[in-house]
Amino acid sequence: MGSLFGDFPEDEELEEYQGFVITGSCNDAHGSDPWVCKLVTLVKKLDSMHKKLLGFCFGHQVWELRRRAEGDGLLEEDRDRHV
């Protein structure tokens, strides 16, 4: 899927996957592009579903934005889900 182009999984599809990978990007993870905001929302949803998430550079920054926005830290039970 290419989130930059608006390709996001539907909510009912999320259960079909064990985990997700968000790769690097030349785009700004701290920007306000609509697709970045939608990606942050998706990461929040994945986290609430306890889905595994692997983020590289940009992907890790997006996950970190979600964590900071909610004011929580990396809980012990989350350590095996986030690299």
CA distance 22 to 66: 14
The string of pLDDT tens digits covering residues 11-29 is 899 999 999 888 778 777 7
CA distance 14 to 28: 25
Q: For the whole model, what pTM was predicted?
A: 0.70
Backbone angles phi, psi at 71, to 5 degrees: 70, 20
DSSP for 29-66, please give it: TTS--HHHHHHHHHHHHHHHTT-EEEE-THHHHHHHHH
The string of pLDDT tens digits covering residues 54-70 is 888 877 778 777 666 65
CA distance 70 to 76: 17
